[in-house]
Amino acid sequence: MKKREIEYFQGCLVGGALGDALGWPIEFMKLNEIKRTYGENGLTHLVLSDDGKAQITDDTQMTMFTAEGLLRAESRLTNKGICHAPTVIYFAFQRWLFTQGYPKKKDIDFIYDGWLLEIDRLFASRAPGNSCISSLLKDEKGTKDNPTNNSKGCGAVMRSAPFGLFLDKDTAFEIAIETAALTHGHPTGQLAAGSLAFMIAEILEDQSIIAATFNTIDKLRNENESIECISKLEDAISLSQSDLSDVEAISMIGEGWIGEEALGIGVFCAIRYQNDFRQALIASVNHSGDSDSTGAITGNILGAYSGIDCIPKEWIQNTELIEEITQLANDLHRVYEDGDEWWRKYPGY
């Protein structure tokens, strides 16, 4: 399976970060506003901040903490022989919550360590999702059986690519769903997260993007309350092969604020422009919706499919935290290394 090689892991996480960074400046703009600001073709380039870097948002921040949580869960399993991965990832999300300016939880104050907390740029607040913030502030953890809300926002799917890189496809599907339930109580929001994880794992098994999408639909048919995700994935396939413009097709899928729509838009753009990373991302962000999340999902899918060498180098060079994101991709590929240095980097809690 050639796509188990490190360049596809790097492509997935870096690609997601670039889609996130491209879409962030226009996340809350309608398409007519985007065109007035950037021209008839919309936003086609990274917008750089004063330090010369395009900014990532909570989408990539939470993806990074998801990856860290998976690696710390693996450390625990290897060293202790037992681990509930969603709990360890919940601790990672609590570390992310701390970076957003919220106080440490006193009953679990031992969790606030690790190399991600040493990265000053991760303490930037870039419009974090309300469902994620409000759920993580509660004393109880959300679960599938005991949800803390009824949200199906895209805040669970946009962070779920690391599961598909790190786990076999069926385990990735299940753990992504269980982890999505920490912050999103609606089954569709959870299944969208599981679907992206499953699709990434399928792509790493050398499936084409469209074949991975069909296989994900088959997987969803065995799940209760999966019709909304199935419908948007079927729309993504049919619309990608239609004569409609990108804007017209995306408008038929939705705006991307909710999980199944964000997933559908990402899949549509990745299929339509599977050989053109730049154009796929441009299409994925230029609409009246959640541009950074749809950009991130498109980048995850196409980066896993094409590898990092197919991503525009100037975009990589001009986006913040790429070195750290690449390091996480490398470590997900490595899985685990014996020794004190690895445990200090990814302690099992």
Report whether pLDDT(2) > 70.
no
**8 Å CB contact between 282 and 44:** yes
Instruction: Tell the burial category of 122 from Cβ atoms under 10 Å away from its Cβ (0-12, 13-18, 19+).
Output: buried
Report pLDDT for 1: 53
In tens, the pLDDT along 83-124 reads 999 999 999 999 999 999 999 999 999 999 999 999 999 999
Report whether pLDDT(168) > 90.
yes
In tens, the pLDDT along 284-297 reads 999 999 999 999 99
Mean pLDDT (whole number) for 139-159: 96
Instruction: Look over the chain and give the mean of its residue pLDDT values, rounded to a whole number.
Output: 97
Stated pTM of the model:
0.98
**8 Å CB contact between 17 and 320:** no
Please, which pLDDT band fits residue 327 given cuts at 50, 70 and 90? Answer: very high
Percent of the chain with pLDDT over 70: 99
Identify the sign of the CA torsion 207, 197, 290, 220.
Answer: positive
Mean pLDDT (whole number) for 48-64: 98
319 forms bridges with which residues in the sheet?
54
**8 Å CB contact between 75 and 114:** no
Report whether pLDDT(3) > 90.
no
Class of domain 2-39+53-143+152-345: mainly alpha
| Structure tokens, 323 | 């070195």
Q: From its phi and psi, is residue 157 left (phi > 0), alpha (psi between -120 and 50) or beta?
A: alpha
Report whether pLDDT(283) > 70.
yes
Nearest Cα to 70, choosing from 133, 161, 150, 148?
161
Please, which pLDDT band fits residue 4 given cuts at 50, 70 and 90? Answer: confident
Mean pLDDT (whole number) for 190-195: 98
* In the block, residue with structure tokens 């999408």: 213
The answer to whether the annotation marks 290 as part of a ligand binding site is yes
**8 Å CB contact between 185 and 149:** yes
The answer to whether the annotation marks 292 as part of a ligand binding site is yes
Nearest Cα to 273, choosing from 239, 318, 229, 233?
239
| Segments making up each domain of the chain, as ranges | 2-39+53-143+152-345
